Amino acid sequence: MVDKGANPDRAIARLARSQHGVVTAAQLQAVELSREAIAKRVEAGRLHRLHRGVYAVGHSKLTFEGRCMAAVLALGEGAVVSHRSAAALWGMLKPHTGPIHVTVQGDGGRRKRHGITVHRSSTLIAGLSLLRDGIRLTKAGRTLRDLHRAVSEETYRGAVRCALDLKLISSSDLRSEDDLTRSELERLFLAFCRRHRLPQPEVNARVGPHEVDFLWRNRRLIVEVDGFRHHGDRSAFERDRAKDAHLQRLGFRVLRFTWRQIRGTPAIVARTLRALVGQESLTPNL
């Protein structure tokens, strides 16, 4: 809300405080600043042009939130921070340098804006975004879906773990391979072993006090196949690592793969397993 009756510079400062240090040309004009008055403030260093029609007030060293706000204001109504930038605002990833990712409604070409990566979506509706600290961004679940198509599997998994820790999502919100049941994962992994001519492992075998997914006992090799639905929360992550440490003390090597790794890079997974199951056991059976 712009107070037209107030001193223009005070009104601008008050507005900038509520918008992470940035204002639009339309907002400046609403406090009765002419184009000439805006130009004079730019020349004097009181305003700093960030994008067409968007200015930083007082200085140009904005926070990450300020850069995101500026990008959304530059693209107008309906624009939302998305992808890696939204993940950073949610706390799933660290703030990044480089262009801010913004999604706008529609399926046409992307509008070129310096410092902004523009995405278009025909499925971006009001229910998939919200205001957070004054900035409109995609909801946590939509952010992760967008992010998964744009970053490495390692980065995505880290973002999901942070989202679970921050209680932005629950494990029931996760989809795709994480919806596979344990029996489906077992069946698919055994088929993977046959396809790549790997020795068939024991399934759900006991090793000490633990049940493990797949075991090549004579090679003292264990493979656990993870999906976030079953292993995505922090407490499960920590239990898995404690289990792995105990199995290693018993003399077993433990490898963990996600189904996306097995499906997406099968040659790498198969090559790793072939190298290990082809080795002679170096320790006696327990």
Tens digits of pLDDT across the chain (286 residues): 455 555 888 999 999 999 999 999 999 999 889 999 999 999 999 999 999 999 999 988 999 999 999 999 999 988 999 999 999 999 999 999 999 999 998 765 556 788 999 999 877 777 889 999 999 999 999 999 899 888 887 788 788 888 888 889 876 666 544 445 566 677 888 889 999 999 999 998 999 999 999 999 999 999 998 765 444 456 667 788 899 999 999 999 999 988 778 878 889 999 999 999 875 433 433 3
The count of structural domains within the chain is 3
Q: Is the backbone of residue 65 left (phi > 0), alpha (psi -120 to 50) or beta? A: alpha
Of the three residues 37, 57, 77, the one that is the final residue of a domain is: 57
Of the three residues 142, 169, 196, the one that is the final residue of a domain is: 169
Domain-located, residue 2: no
Query: What are the structure tokens assigned to 200, written together?
Result: 């068939």
Q: 207: domain CATH number?
A: 3.40.960.10
pLDDT digits (tens, 9 = 90+) for 29-54: 998 899 999 999 999 999 999 999 99
Tell me whether strands 116-121 and 100-105 are parallel, antiparallel or unpaired. parallel
Q: Which domain holds residue 109?
A: 64-169
pTM above 0.85, yes or no: no
Residue 163: CB atoms within 10 A of its CB come to: 26
DSSP 113: B
Domain-located, residue 282: no
Domain-located, residue 284: no
pLDDT digits (tens, 9 = 90+) for 78-129: 899 999 999 999 999 999 999 999 999 876 555 678 899 999 987 777 788 9
Domain-located, residue 118: yes
